[in-house]
Chain A
Amino acid sequence: EDQVTQSPEALRLQEGESSSLNCSYTVSGLRGLFWYRQDPGKGPEFLFTLYSAGEEKEKERLKATLTKKESFLHITAPKPEDSATYLCAVQALDQAGTALIFGKGTTLSVSS
């Protein structure tokens, strides 16, 4: 069964304190791995799609990396506005219609 596990469930950082969020996945074949940011009361905001091991993508203070079994979302020198829930999702080769399988998310709180 295709599965996505994110850790930690919650992370508290001081402003400027860099850290990483983990997304472990089990799929029969990976079509793509997605990262989203979700603010309270809003829909998920698309961040990145990664396709193959070794691939990296960056956006402002965020960098996503991918291996054959997991992905990391690195947050460099975070600011309070980075506080949100970060969702990881996989798109499996055997998933009809290319829909996404989501993890439960990591809730990040950054204090000044």
Chain B
Amino acid sequence: SAVISQKPSRDICQRGTSLTIQCQVDSQVTMMFWYRQQPGQSLTLIATANQGSEATYESGFVIDKFPISRPNLTFSTLTVSNMSPEDSSIYLCSGGRASEQYFGPGTRLTVT
């Protein structure tokens, strides 16, 4: 198994600013992903974080809005840029291998 931590756990941000969320895994993992979970909804994949190359984004998510870095096999960051109230959500990092994927505790973001 893998233990995943995220920082910050929550934040309240002003419209138009940016927030970077960090994800740390306690062991090297093949795959890392970023998801969004809006209130009362299920998880939606934002992008696959690729080690050493550009992230792969899902339809509806773009690099300018959600730049992602993955410098090594245990760490990734997601930035939410130029935030609006619609970006208020829980952002979750996951990692593991194809057969077992583990999640961090999430970052609860509120944009005012």
Residue numbers of A with Cβ under 8 A of B are 31-32, 34, 36, 41-46, 49, 87, 89, 91, 96-105
Contact of B48 with A97 in the complex, beta carbons under 8 Å = yes
| A47, chain B: closest CB distance, angstroms | 10
Contact of B42 with A46 in the complex, beta carbons under 8 Å = no
User: Which chain B residues lie closer than 8 Å to A98 at the CB level?
Assistant: 31, 98
Does B75 touch A at the CB level, under 8 Å?
no
User: Which chain B residues lie closer than 8 Å to A89 at the CB level?
Assistant: 43
- List the 3 closest pairs (A to B, CB-CB), nearest first: A43-B103, A97-B48, A102-B42
Contact of B41 with A32 in the complex, beta carbons under 8 Å = no
Contact of A87 with B102 in the complex, beta carbons under 8 Å = no
Contact of B99 with A46 in the complex, beta carbons under 8 Å = no
CA distance A14 to B105 in the complex (A): 29
With A43-B92, A97-B56 given, is the CB distance from A103 to B102 under 8 Å? no
Does B101 touch A at the CB level, under 8 Å?
yes
Residue numbers of B with Cβ under 8 A of A are 1, 4, 31, 33, 41-45, 48, 50, 56, 92, 94, 96, 98-106
Contact of B45 with A42 in the complex, beta carbons under 8 Å = no
CA distance A97 to B55 in the complex (A): 11
CA distance A54 to B4 in the complex (A): 32
Q: Taking CB as reference atom, which chain A residue is nearest B49?
A: A97
Q: Taking CB as reference atom, which chain A residue is nearest B33?
A: A99
Contact of B98 with A96 in the complex, beta carbons under 8 Å = no
Q: Taking CB as reference atom, which chain B residue is nearest A103?
A: B42
